[in-house]
Amino acid sequence: MPNIIRKMEDQYAEYLKDESRSVGEAASISFPKTQAEVLETMRNCLAKGENITVQGSRTGLAASAVPHGGHILNLSRLNHILGLRYDAPRDNFFVTVEPGVLLSQLRKAVADKSFDIKLWNDKSVQTLEKFRAAEWFFTPDPTETSASIGGMVSCNASGARTFLFGPTRNYIEALRVILPNGEVLNIRRGRHFAKERKFKLKTENNEISGDLPSYIMPEVKSAAGYFVHDNMDLIDLFIGAEGTLGVITQIEVRLIRLPKAIWGITAFFPNEPSALEYVKALRNENKKYPWLHRPAAIEFFNCRALDLLRSQKANNPAFAQIQELKPQYHTAVYTELHGHSVQAEEMPVLIGGLGDLINFVGGDEADTWVANNQRDLEKLQFFRHAMPESANMLIDQRRKLDPTLTKLGTDMSVPDRYLNTVMEMYNRDLAEADLENVIFGHIGNNHLHVNILPRNKTDYLKGKELYLKWAQTNVANGGSVAAEHGIGKLKTNMLEVMYGASGINEMRRLKSLFDPNGLINCGNMFAPAKEVK
Amino acid sequence: MMKIIVCTKQVPATNEVKMDPVTNTIIREGVEAICNPFDTYAVEEALRIKEKQGAHITAISMGIPTVAPMLKEVVALGVDEAVLLTDRKFAGADTLATAYTLAKGIGKIGDFDLVICGKQATDGDTAQVGPSLAETLSIPHLTDVGEIKELNSKTIVCRRMTDDGYDELEMDLPCLITVTKEINTPRLPSILGIKKAQKYKVHKFNANICEENDIHIGLSGSPTQVVKTFIPTSAVECQFLKIKALADKLRELSNIEEEGN
């Protein structure tokens, strides 16, 4: 046994769970600090036929990092930033990181332009000078900044700014993956493509080939199941694969130029229809507003969400710094404008137009909070982050009385034209079922997090029923059951709603091409083959 | 209607202050200039009074002409008028000369009932200008106010935290208070406020508010001599003790205290 493998003991109990709050079991755990240690540990486990569950910083909401027996390969200490590269024609910087690097760590290094260069080669160090001459940023912004980059790649994480910039996938340039056969695969974007749905990948000494699943992915924001399409770039197969095809040990991420100005505006509306009208106007669906360029983010808070924040502010000192929410504030929409081409001085003009728009759809430009610098933006981001935190805290209180209760948080998206329909459905069904809830999230992509907050077991079961019903309706309307949190071990039945038993079987077959013995991250996305038989 | 004056100062954004190791002064190059954070609580408190019982608020600041945009930001929050005291003759002012100049500026603005200042500025950290301004204006003042309990046209009742508990004190108007961050949560501007501020022109007062050859302003009015500035080093040492050693240490310390008493 390599000396980094530890028997599971009480002191490691934290590592049996993640942010989904479900708890698993494991026989052993390791915390490799180098890629060589990962390889050695994996080969050791694989030789013994032992299951491996990979963990980043365990901030996932779908239990992907929760072990179901076997070994926990925790990559939180494999956290070096290894180098920097500039691509002149694309005007992008590329940073090579290990999977345990946290989003907050990468952001700080990029913003401060300060890196630990001990492990860097000369070329990377020389690039630093050019890097320091301008401002750069990594756009993916899941609300939880302690997420690891490896975890973000594995579930193709998104955030508020995904509305403009797309998900993590769009910013991943190269990956190093240790395959379940113990071989190392280096894959770079633009080099390896499928032929229609057939693929072939050369590894160190072998070749893996076969068919990709045949399903058609919905044309909405989605992180459900393998990413597949005809003639796809094969690097995309590993992004959002929830660790089922191998263990990612190195990642090259792409940075773009930081916008010259970033303004955040939270607008409060007297009712929900006005807020929805504003969202559609912000998306410029009818091209009615030629002056308005696409916002970076459009986020939503319904009336019950604002009420929960009001009570948090009143009762919990941690939320006291939230600004006063006036009684007439019924529904809120946060939007973020980035000025790349416009001068920073032109932003006020843009904001002025936005004020007219708010008045036009039935709001009041006086009922807005504007942040035009980093400190104030952080206040608005704190307000946004306080939303899921508040819902979780409320449920944690209730779990003290009934530990079987959990929050039921949806993560579904639908096409633009179904925005009103889906909101009506959620509101009607929740009122009819008399379930306590808050609705918030990424409304720009019609991707709302309905959080059902069960008061008791009956509520919980009613909520689960509704959740499944909504999944069926949203899929029928061309939506996705998991837009950003992934499927993990908690939503496998939802994935089946989306792609049917045949789709799941095709995914299972694809996994078995890489992992014939079913040893790596089994149970994520679909139940392991051996349990099905 | 009640007339309120709020004092504001532009300071470098101080979340990550860098000191010049040679000159021992704050490096201001490339550091964003912001409204002194404590002054934002002063502005907010004035706005709350205005919303509750009606008031006319004038913000005042002394500084170089580029301070005007900061005053516009304050106007965006709902302040009615903004005055910038700016003149080369004001340069080099210490806290005494600053208080004197502010008092002259306030004299030109006219009558007032209440002056609100932040408890101190985050660059100098002296907490002297507020009280000094009150003395120059010959009005009563109270520092470190954490809550205004009552305010009418004649008097104000304030609460402030002290080492021994809370003080609740009543003062006659006109008077001056300095406020701490416990007093409120400052608001962000609205789009409406930003639109108003864009059209607003900040009033600029120069040295004509003072007598000709007034020696109380600028460098000549500043008796403060900065002999030395330096970056303090922390002298606190942390020791880790086992339970028994800790018990011995506590016993030793309690003996010292008893002897001292």
| Number of structural domains in chain A | 2
Low-confidence winner among A437-441, A495-499, A515-519, B120-124 (lowest mean pLDDT) = B120-124
Is A481 domain-assigned? no
Question: Residue B210 pLDDT > 50, yes or no?
Answer: yes
Instruction: Give chain B positions within 8 Å (CB) of A321.
Output: 185
Residues paired with residue B165 on neighbouring β-strands, in sequence order: B162
The mean pLDDT of B166-183, rounded to a whole number, is 96
CB-count exposure of residue A444 (10 Å: 0-12, 13-18, 19+): buried
Closest approach of chain A CAs to the CA of B178, in angstroms? 20
Residue A533's pLDDT band (boundaries 50, 70, 90)? very low
Q: Are residues A377 and A524 in the same domain?
A: no
Q: DSSP letters of A16-46?
A: GB-TT--B-B-SEEE---SHHHHHHHHHHHH
| Banded model confidence at residue A149, pLDDT cuts 50, 70, 90 | very high
Q: Do A371 and B198 touch (CB under 8 A)?
A: no
Instruction: Indicate if A311 and A446 belong to the same structural domain.
Output: yes
CB A527 within 8 A of CB A68: no
Cα torsion angle, A118, A121, A124, A126, sign: positive
Q: Does B224 touch chain A (CB under 8 A)?
A: no
Q: Same structural domain for residues A224 and A267? A: no
Instruction: Kindly state whether residues A351 and A380 are assigned to the same domain.
Output: yes
Same domain, yes or no: A95 and A176: yes
Name the domain boundary from A436, A451, A476. Answer: A476
Task: Give the CATH number, domain containing residue A156.
Answer: 3.30.465.10
Distance separating alpha carbons of residues A60 and B101, to the nearest angstrom = 58
- Domain boundary among the residues A451, A476, A501 is at A476
- Comparison of pLDDT for B45 and A21, the residue scoring more: B45
B52 shares contact with chain A (CB less than 8 Å): no
Confidence of residue B122 (pLDDT cuts 50, 70, 90): confident
Same domain, A458 and A503: no
Closest CA to A141 of A102, A103, A101: A103
For residue B174, say if its preceding peptide bond is cis, omega within 30 degrees of 0.
Answer: yes
Question: Tokens in use for A20?
Answer: 């989904």
User: Taking chain A, what is the end-to-end CA distance rounded to the nearest angstrom?
Assistant: 32
Same domain flag for A41 and A58: yes
pLDDT at A339: 82
For every residue of B106-144, DSSP letters joined together read HHHH---SEEEEES--TTT----HHHHHHHHHT--EEEE
CA B18 to chain centre: 22
The beta-carbon neighbor of A351 closest among B32, B34, B191 is B191
**Residue A299: is its pLDDT beyond 80?**
yes
Q: Are residues A236 and A369 both part of a single domain?
A: no
Residue A273: inside a domain, yes or no? yes
Q: CB-based contact (8 Å) between A50 and chain B?
A: no
Which residues of chain B are within 8 Å of residue A375 when distances are taken between CB atoms? 13, 15, 34
Answer yes or no: do A494 and A373 share one domain: no
Interface-testing mutation among B14, B190, B198, with chain A (most A C-beta atoms within 10 A): B190
pTM, two decimals, is 0.89
Q: Is residue A7 part of a domain?
A: yes
Among the partner-chain residues B34, B185, B191, the one whose CB lies closest to the CB of A323 is: B185
CA angle A327, A380, A345 (to 5 degrees): 110
CB–CB of A454/A398 below 8 Å? yes
pLDDT at position A203:
87
A227 belongs to a structural domain: yes
Q: What is the mean pLDDT of the segment spanning B161-171?
A: 93
Q: Do A318 and A464 fall into the same domain?
A: yes
Does position B233 have pLDDT exceeding 90, yes or no?
no
Check A368 against B192: CB less than 8 A apart. Answer: yes
Q: Establish if A402 belongs to a structural domain.
A: yes
Averaged pLDDT, A112-137: 93
pLDDT at B256: 75
Domain assignments of chain B as residue spans, ordered by start: 2-221
Work out whether strand B141-151 and strand B175-179 pair parallel, antiparallel, or are unpaired: parallel
Top CATH class of B2-221 equals alpha beta
CB-based contact, B31 to chain A, within 8 Å: no
- Please compute the mean of the pLDDT values over residues A227-238 and round it to a whole number: 97
pLDDT tens track for B44-53: 999 999 999 9
Q: Provide the pLDDT for residue B24.
A: 66
For residue A294, the enclosing domain spans 261-476
Q: Quick check: B185 and A265 CB within 8 A?
A: no
Confirm if B125 and B226 have CB atoms less than 8 A apart: no
**Is A390 a domain residue?**
yes
pLDDT, tens only, B62-118: 999 999 999 999 999 999 999 999 999 998 888 999 999 999 999 999 999 999 999
CB-side neighbour CA atoms (13 Å) of A384: 30
- pLDDT band at B23, cuts 50/70/90? low
What pLDDT is recorded for position A532? 47
Tell which residue, A383, A386, A423, A388, has the closest CA to residue A271. Answer: A423
- pLDDT of amino acid A213: 97
B38 to chain A nearest CA, in Å?
A: 15
Q: Give, for A473, the enclosing helix (H) or strand (E).
A: helix A457-476
Question: What mean pLDDT is reported for chain B?
Answer: 90
Which letter does DSSP use for residue A165 in this model? H
Q: How far is CA A101 from the centre of its chain?
A: 16
Mean pLDDT (chain A, rounded): 93
Q: Are residues A75 and A13 in the same domain?
A: yes
Angle at A293 between CA A289 and CA A298, to 5 degrees: 100
In this structure, is residue A485 part of a structural domain? no
Residues A398 and A360 occupy one common structural domain = yes
Q: Output the CA angle B70-B74-B78, nearest 5 degrees.
A: 160
* pLDDT at position A294: 86
Q: Which of A55-69, A335-349, A418-432 has the lowest mean pLDDT?
A: A335-349
Residue A471: which CATH number? 3.40.462.10
